Amino acid sequence: MAPGVVSRFLRYTIFALAFANGGCGLNKALALDALPLAADASSVRPGLDEATIARVVRRAGELPRLHSLIVARHGTIHLERRFRGPRLDVSVNVKSVAKVVISALVGLAIDRGLIEGPQQPIVSLLGESVADAADPRLQEVTIGHLLSMQSGLERTSGANYGRWVNSKDWVGYALSRPFVDEPGGRMLYSTGNSHILSAVLTRVSGRSTLDLARAWLAAPLGFDLPPWDRDPQGIYLGGNNMLLSPRALLRFGEMYRNGGIFRGKRVLSEAWVRASWTPHTESFFSGDGYGYGWFIAKACGHPVHYARGYGGQFLYVVPSLSLTIVITSQTTTRTRVDDYYTALRSDVVGELVAAAVRTDTAASGVAERQNKEGGGGTDGSVAATGCGL
């Protein structure tokens, strides 16, 4: 067969295998109308090779906790697969991936002049939610400290989560935690910080966080957003249990990848995207950087920005490779460094990043020159080792 025929044959074979195995594959009727399919795009920039896609699909299918995987490059979907669980257009609990949505809403509130900026003290925005006898250091906590998990307040996550969500006042409980570090100190990952931000958004706008998210994000990005958990005062839980479909997450990630623009229209300021992706601190658990709701790592020398949620919910954005990856998993198993988490990072995400690097290298002609000089090519170190995270 001619090379083009072989390429098309492999591509459609992969599609057929996807349907045969019960996944959604790359069904044109189900694909995002904002993102063309690789098979249908008439002029697609270098994407991902079929062998990598087949290898990733095969490895992903061996992971029983994995529900869905969507991969896009240059705004084109190269892999869209449901292994188990709901359809790709059905909203699912994305757990703490919701923190990047709350971060985006804060940025949008700043863009609209409702919040002065990350440097604004939270006490000025919370009114009676702050007890008269509160620790004076609470006056120093800013919007930025909450976003980067540097409030200094004792965590409401982990072992403290149950006590927090069983309290009668989630905002008051989070604000009354003792200080275990100074404001602006080390990262203390706490959903209570994100929930305080949800309360701030509600207070400064006079609208619920759900209403804001629907108007400012869901509507311009074109996805549905059902209600999720609320606290006893009616404030939507900030930073956890939000319900988004895998396709909605892809749209959100693509908007960030394009500097706040979706379908040619600005949704979020580019300045906020940059601020969110700037490391402000470092995770004690992973060593990765942390911005405003986003973790920051590197793979094959490329900055990787990602959101993660309990059980294995992930949104990865690699701007320098024009790569966006969505992963959803069952939500009943804790996300920790186990075989599943390692497999996702190395055999799925790392493999896809490595493939993107190889493809770009080949497209630039570097690989061809290396082959002529006897230096190898696309089967070199990146192909052999992948891009671990």
What is residue 7's predicted lDDT score, i.e. its pLDDT? 37
**Cβ neighbours around 233 below 10 Å, total:** 13
**Cβ neighbours around 1 below 10 Å, total:** 8
DSSP-derived 3-state class of residue 315: strand
Confidence of residue 20 (pLDDT cuts 50, 70, 90): very low
**What is the domain partition of the chain in residue ranges?**
3-85+294-358, 95-221
What is residue 364's predicted lDDT score, i.e. its pLDDT? 80
CATH superfamily of 95-221: DD-peptidase/beta-lactamase superfamily (3.40.710.10)
Q: Rounded to an integer, what is the distance from CA 44 to the centroid of its chain?
A: 25
Backbone angles phi, psi at 34, to 5 degrees: -80, -15
% of the chain exceeding 70 in pLDDT: 81
Q: How distant, in Å, are the alpha carbons of 73, 130, 149, 174, 184 from that of 188?
A: 34, 20, 5, 13, 10
Average confidence (pLDDT) over 188-201: 98
User: pLDDT by residue (tens digit) across 199-218?
Assistant: 999 999 999 999 999 999 99
- Residue 377 predicted with pLDDT over 50: no
User: pLDDT by residue (tens digit) across 255-299?
Assistant: 999 999 999 999 999 999 999 999 999 998 889 999 999 999 999
What is residue 63's predicted lDDT score, i.e. its pLDDT? 96
Sequence-separated (6 or more) residues with CB below 8 Å from residue 319:
257, 303, 305
% of the chain exceeding 90 in pLDDT: 75
How many angstroms separate the CA atoms of 57 and 77, rounded? Answer: 14
What is residue 363's predicted lDDT score, i.e. its pLDDT? 83
Q: State the maximum Cα–Cα separation within the chain, in Å, rounded to a whole number.
A: 78
- Residue 367 predicted with pLDDT over 50: no
How many angstroms separate the CA atoms of 54 and 124, rounded? Answer: 54
What is residue 338's predicted lDDT score, i.e. its pLDDT? 77
What is residue 15's predicted lDDT score, i.e. its pLDDT? 37
What is residue 130's predicted lDDT score, i.e. its pLDDT? 79
User: pLDDT by residue (tens digit) across 61-77?
Assistant: 999 999 999 999 999 99
What is residue 345's predicted lDDT score, i.e. its pLDDT? 93
- Residue 351 predicted with pLDDT over 90: yes
What is residue 373's predicted lDDT score, i.e. its pLDDT? 59
Average confidence (pLDDT) over 137-151: 98
User: pLDDT by residue (tens digit) across 331-348?
Assistant: 987 656 578 999 999 999
Q: What is the pTM of this model?
A: 0.86
Highest mean pLDDT among 39-43, 73-77, 134-138: 73-77
How many angstroms separate the CA atoms of 329 and 82, rounded? Answer: 10
Average confidence (pLDDT) over 117-138: 88
Please give the residue that has the higher pLDDT: either 16 or 190: 190
Task: Spell out the alpha helix ranges (H) of the chain.
Answer: 3-20, 50-61, 98-111, 123-126, 143-147, 161-165, 170-175, 191-205, 209-213, 219-221, 246-257, 270-276, 339-343, 351-363, 366-372, 381-385
Average confidence (pLDDT) over 37-52: 64
Exposed e or buried b per residue across 159-192, where buried means at least 16 C-beta atoms within 10 angstroms of its C-beta: ebeeebbebeebbbbbbbbebeeebbeebbbbbb
What is residue 375's predicted lDDT score, i.e. its pLDDT? 45
- Residue 19 predicted with pLDDT over 60: no
* Concatenated DSSP letters of 11-27: HHHHHHHHHHTTS-TT-
Average pLDDT, the chain: 86
- Residue 242 predicted with pLDDT over 60: yes
What is residue 37's predicted lDDT score, i.e. its pLDDT? 52
